[in-house]
């Protein structure tokens, strides 16, 4: 049944940059010329100071004394603050308490802010921070998930989702397997580090220029630490040099500290974290240690499963409750689990508080079940793809998740079938078997894995958005909304939506910086929802103004509404044709308001967390990837040699931007699972504090053959903005195919009889160890 509540606009539209067009990024010309202004590029304000963070040097302990006299006397230092200088709230925990803006008596991770300095230069501020004399009473730190579990040291209580009786189903099953997978964290490595500038205003408030995915939360927290009403704080956010979740909650502390220093000194203060400080002071993707016990039949069909996901949350709750929930929600990925019990633990450790990162726990949840698919296949001597297909959600039955949401419009059987053909999976599988038989040193592996990712914030109230549109009397349009631009092309897509609504060229629309004084009380740009929410809000604002135009034209020219047609930068009213600008001018002189807000909230969603049941997701985004790898059995080195992707974005608003998100997400996911290794020592000190030791994918890591296609002719069945689908996070998890392909290559060493243990990141060292483990058998 096809049910398309939105009508797709005519594809023959003559305007430039309407929806469905591969319009360039709105800042592309400025990016390539160096003219795009990031916070650090803003001209210095008069008397502007530069700040740096004084950091705890132990992972867990009590501050017995804090002597900052040398810091205050240091060259260039103008202001020094401690927790005692915070006039308002000290706790800036975004959801639950636990994050002091400056630690007062207790430190809970190595690097935690214990004071801050403002000086006349960035380097002088950094140098001064090293002069503090601090005495601690050290406490035993918890530095592993294992220890946190033993001590039941959690930042939030455990939670369980279940359907049926998993234990009984496993007991009755013909085959039972159990296993564990350790999944490493990930540094965001946005190229632009965290930064904020605070400028005091005449009202005792602050204007904040920040690189943040959540300007409204920055506004709230700055106001709260200063102890002033929200309306005295204005946050301006034009663009980020990358976010990926790392600037959802973890941008705010630096805005708060710069505001506190600005308050103390009475001067504007810029706080820019150096790369090494950024890596030490800000949270990362949660490392997870998951385990499972699964019962299945001789076809590999799951009859019952128990999964436990253990997220390493670091020292505070931050967003971890929702992140571990999302890992639980995605413990099924694309598969019908039948009788299932999924438990999530939020482990507290004395490391930096881990935070949002593209996928928000979803990737770590999916890893378990994708590993299970491979393990079942090895146990039964089947091809892993066959086991995956056997377990896919059905279309009419076997289509209810372990949190009781019905999986509707499941495209995965079709996507997998198409990709299996286009990637030539079966023939390449045969070729790989031959290659591996003939080559003693190098081995190939291949895997085709799906993604089903739930779209919506699982915290229901965040699923709302606002926009503000002004039409000026020359017909030019200024567009503003609550979403933030971090490179994902949100501003471009939303401008395309407005261009489409008014049928004007997209370059007549200027998208301005996200500001809390333009659109208030906004949600973070996160959960892949930026376009879904803000596109709809902007569409609603545009439609309000358009309706006013139509009403005015009907009255003024005495025509019927059906005789008012917007097309090709013009408006036809009966027999009269005028430019969009002429209509705007005419409407203005007739006292018609040409400015409107727009608002949107996502329909249909509901979730009862007590019962762990409901419809947390408006819809699911789908995709699949087929990856081939080559490994060296003497060194563990490997290369991803070919990747084919087929991904579902509904009706694409901008195919070039969507493909950019898919490719970029995939490569970022590949980095997470392969070369990006975070290491802490036994004191809780992060050792990988820069790109010299933390290796994100470089250009030569991109698969040499990289075929990416959008699933054609599948508009979203839900009433999303022009029936498009969210694309920010889902492609990240397509990279699980690389991990699975690596395991496939390793398994060849023991003739595919054993499913190799391969924790991530699967560095060459881990791959070699996995090979050696199989060779020993």
Contacts of other proteins in 371-430 (CB under 8 A) = none
Interface with other proteins, residue 637, by CB under 8 A: yes
Q: Binding of other proteins at residue 180 (CB under 8 A)?
A: no
By C-beta, is 329 or 638 nearer to other proteins?
638
Give the shortest CB-664-to-other proteins separation in angstroms. Answer: 4
Closer Cβ to other proteins, 89 or 275, answer by number: 275
Answer for which of 221, 222, 228, 708 binds other proteins (CB under 8 A) is 708
Q: Does residue number 668 form part of the binding site for other proteins (CB under 8 A)? A: yes
Residues 125-154 that bind other proteins (CB under 8 A): 126-127, 130
Q: Per rule CB under 8 A, is residue 631 in the interface with other proteins?
A: yes
Looking at residue 378, the DSSP 8-state letter turns out to be: H
For residues 399 and 384, give the distance between their C-alpha atoms in angstroms, rounded to a whole number.
21
The one among 524, 665, 715, 728 contacting other proteins by CB under 8 A: 665
- The least distance separating other proteins from the CB of residue 641, rounded to whole angstroms, comes to 7
> Site for other proteins (CB under 8 A): which residue of 241, 311, 365, 466?
241
Q: Could you tell me how many residues of this chain bind other proteins (CB under 8 A)? A: 96
**How far is residue 292 CA from its own chain's centroid?**
26
Tokens found for residue 733 = 């998890």
Max Cα–Cα distance, the chain, nearest Å: 88
CB of 489 to other proteins, least distance (A): 7
Q: Which stretch binds other proteins (CB under 8 A): 120-128, 178-186, 415-423, 463-471?
A: 120-128
Q: Which positions from 714 through 733 interact with other proteins, judged by CB under 8 A?
A: none
Q: Is 31 in the site for other proteins (CB under 8 A)?
A: yes
Q: Does 16 bind other proteins (CB under 8 A)?
A: no
DSSP secondary structure string for all residues of 626-662 = EEEEEEETTT--EEEEEEEEEE--BS-S-HHHHHHHH
CA–CA distance from 50 to each of 44, 113, 186, 552 (Å)? Answer: 10, 16, 29, 53
Residue 180 among the catalytic residues = no
Half-sphere exposure (Cβ direction) of 119: Cα atoms closer than 13 Å: 22
CB atoms under 10 Å from CB of 155, counted, come to 24
Residues linked to residue 52 through DSSP beta bridges, in sequence order: 117
Nearer of residues 551 and 637 to other proteins, judged by Cβ: 637
Task: Report the alpha-carbon distance of residue 434 to residue 431 in Å, rounded.
Answer: 5
Span of 57-65, 228-236, 341-349, 639-647 interacting with other proteins by CB under 8 A: 639-647
CB–CB of 638/701 below 8 Å? no
Phi, psi of 158 (to 5 degrees): -60, 160
Supply the minimum distance, in Å, between the C-beta of residue 637 and other proteins: 5
- How far apart CA 726 and CA 530 sit, in angstroms, is 8
Query: Based on CB atoms, which residue is closest to other proteins, 574 or 664?
Result: 664
Cα angle at 755 between 344 and 630, to 5 degrees?
110
Quickly count helices (H) and strands (E) in the chain: 19, 29
Q: Which of 196, 207, 213, 488 binds other proteins (CB under 8 A)?
A: 488
Report CA dihedral (693, 694, 696, 700) to the nearest 10 degrees.
20
Say whether 334 sits in a helix, a strand or coil.
coil
**Distances in whole angstroms, Cα of residue 695 to Cα of each of 41, 680, 691:** 27, 15, 6
Q: Is 642 in the site for other proteins (CB under 8 A)?
A: yes
Q: How far apart are CA 50 and CA 77, in angstroms?
A: 9
Q: Which of 17, 454, 660, 756 binds other proteins (CB under 8 A)?
A: 660
**What Å distances lie between residue 204 and 227, 232, 259, 527, 716, CA to CA?**
11, 7, 11, 35, 48
The answer to whether residue 561 forms part of the interface with other proteins (CB under 8 A) is no
Measured from the CB of residue 264, what is the shortest distance to other proteins in angstroms?
24
487 binds other proteins (CB under 8 A): yes
Closest CA to 195 of 352, 40, 45: 40
Residues 521-540 that bind other proteins (CB under 8 A): none
Contact between 34 and other proteins by CB under 8 A: the answer reads yes
Residue placing its CB nearer to other proteins in the complex, 309 or 662: 662
Of the pair 597, 641, the CB lying nearest other proteins is at 641
Please name the residue that has the structure tokens 């549109």. 469
Q: What are the residues whose beta carbons fall under 8 Å from the beta carbon of 748, sequence distance 6 or more? A: 432, 436, 443, 444, 445
Query: Is residue 333 a contact residue for other proteins (CB under 8 A)?
Result: no
> Which of 240, 594 has the CB closer to other proteins?
240
Q: How far is the CB of 698 from other proteins (least distance, A)?
A: 5
Q: Are 136 and 61 in contact (CB under 8 A)?
A: yes
Cβ distance to other proteins smaller for residue 426 or 439: 439
Q: Which is nearer to other proteins, 413 or 764 (CB)?
A: 764
Burial of 31 (C-beta count, 10 Å sphere; 0-12/13-18/19+): middle
Task: Closer to other proteins by CB, 27 or 391: give it.
Answer: 27
Candidates 16, 24, 147, 543: give the one binding other proteins (CB under 8 A).
24
Of 485, 677, 714, 729, the catalytic one is 729
Contact between 709 and other proteins (CB under 8 A)? Answer: yes
Q: Which residues of 106-126 are buried (b: 16+ CB within 10 A; e: fewer)?
A: bbbbbbbbbbbbbbeebebbb
Position among 179, 382, 701, 750 found at the interface with other proteins (CB under 8 A): 701
Within 265-294, the residues that bind other proteins by CB under 8 A are 274-276
The minimum distance between CB 218 and other proteins, in angstroms, equals: 19
Applying CB under 8 A, does 772 fall inside the site for other proteins? yes
763 is a site residue for other proteins (CB under 8 A):
yes
Which sequence positions are flagged as catalytic? Answer: 729
């Amino acid at each position: 049944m096809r049910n398309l509540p939105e009508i797709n606009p005519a594809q023959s539209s003559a305007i430039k940059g309407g929806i469905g067009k591969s319009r360039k990024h709105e800042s592309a010309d400025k990016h390539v010329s160096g003219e795009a202004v990031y916070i650090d590029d803003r001209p210095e304000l008069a008397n502007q100071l530069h700040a740096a963070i004084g950091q705890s040097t132990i992972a867990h302990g009590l501050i017995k004394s804090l002597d900052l006299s040398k810091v205050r006397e240091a060259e260039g230092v103008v202001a020094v603050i401690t927790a005692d200088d915070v006039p308002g709230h000290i706790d800036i925990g975004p959801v639950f308490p636990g994050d002091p803006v400056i630690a007062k008596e207790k430190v809970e991770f190595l690097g935690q802010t214990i004071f801050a300095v403002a000086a006349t230069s960035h380097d002088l501020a950094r140098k001064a921070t090293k002069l503090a004399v601090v005495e601690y009473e050290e406490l035993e730190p918890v530095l592993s998930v294992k220890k946190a579990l033993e001590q039941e040291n959690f930042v939030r209580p455990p939670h369980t989702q279940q359907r049926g009786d998993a234990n009984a189903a496993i007991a009755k099953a013909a085959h039972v397997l159990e296993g564990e997978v350790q999944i490493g964290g990930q540094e965001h490595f946005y190229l632009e580090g965290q930064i904020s500038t605070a400028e005091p205003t005449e009202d005792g408030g602050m204007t904040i220029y920040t690189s943040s995915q959540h300007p409204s939360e920055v506004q709230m927290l700055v106001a709260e630490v200063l102890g002033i009403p929200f309306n005295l704080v204005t946050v301006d956010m034009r663009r980020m040099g990358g976010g990926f979740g790392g600037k959802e909650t973890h941008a705010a502390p630096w805005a708060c500290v710069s505001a506190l220093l600005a308050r103390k000194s009475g001067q504007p203060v810029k706080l820019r974290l150096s790369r090494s400080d950024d890596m030490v002071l800000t949270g990362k993707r949660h490392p997870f240690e998951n385990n499972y016990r699964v019962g299945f039949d001789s076809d590999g069909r799951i009859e019952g499963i128990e999964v436990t996901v253990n997220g390493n949350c670091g020292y505070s709750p931050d967003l971890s409750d929702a992140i571990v929930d999302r890992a639980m929600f995605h413990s099924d990925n694309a598969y019908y689990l039948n009788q299932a019990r999924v438990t999530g633990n939020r482990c507290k450790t004395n490391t930096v508080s881990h935070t949002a990162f593209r996928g928000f726990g979803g990737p770590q949840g999916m890893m378990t079940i994708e590993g299970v698919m491979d393990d079942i296949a090895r146990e039964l001597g089947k091809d892993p793809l066959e086991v995956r297909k056997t377990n896919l959600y059905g279309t009419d039955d076997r289509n209810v998740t372990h949190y009781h949401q019905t999986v509707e419009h499941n495209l995965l059987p079709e996507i997998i079938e198409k990709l299996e053909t286009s990637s030539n999976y079966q023939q390449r599988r045969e070729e790989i078997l031959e290659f591996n038989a003939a080559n003693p040193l190098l081995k190939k592996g291949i895997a085709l894995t799906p993604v089903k990712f739930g779209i919506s914030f699982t915290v229901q109230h965040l699923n709302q958005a606002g926009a503000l549109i002004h039409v000026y009397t020359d017909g030019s349009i200024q567009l503003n909304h609550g979403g933030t631009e971090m490179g994902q092309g949100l501003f471009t897509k939303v401008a395309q939506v407005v261009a489409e609504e008014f049928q004007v060229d997209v370059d007549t629309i200027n998208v301005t910086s996200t500001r809390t004084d333009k659109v208030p009380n906004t949600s973070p740009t996160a959960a892949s929802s930026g376009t879904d929410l803000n596109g709809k809000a902007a569409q609603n604002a545009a439609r309000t103004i358009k309706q006013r135009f139509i009403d005015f034209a009907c009255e003024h020219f005495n025509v019927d509404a059906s005789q008012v047609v917007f097309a090709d930068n013009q408006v036809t009213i009966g027999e009269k044709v005028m430019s969009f600008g002429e209509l705007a001018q005419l409407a203005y002189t007739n006292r018609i308001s040409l400015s409107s807000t727009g608002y949107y909230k996502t329909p249909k969603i509901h979730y009862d967390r007590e019962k762990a049941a409901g419809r947390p997701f408006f819809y699911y985004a789908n995709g699949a990837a087929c990856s081939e790898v080559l490994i060296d059995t003497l060194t563990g080195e490997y290369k991803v040699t070919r990747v084919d992707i087929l991904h579902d974005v509904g009706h694409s608003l901008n195919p070039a931007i969507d493909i950019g998100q898919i490719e970029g997400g995939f490569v970022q996911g590949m980095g997470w699972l392969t070369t990006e290794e975070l290491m802490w020592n036994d004191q809780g000190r992060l050792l990988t504090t820069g790109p010299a030791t933390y290796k994100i994918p470089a250009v030569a890591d991109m698969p040499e053959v990289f075929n990416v296609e959008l699933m054609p002719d599948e508009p979203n069945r839900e009433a999303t903005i022009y029936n498009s689908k969210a694309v920010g996070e889902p492609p990240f998890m397509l990279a699980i195919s690389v991990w699975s392909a690596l395991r496939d290559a390793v398994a060849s060493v023991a003739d595919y009889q054993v499913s190799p243990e391969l924790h991530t990141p699967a560095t060459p060292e881990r791959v070699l160890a996995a090979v050696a483990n199989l060779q020993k058998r």
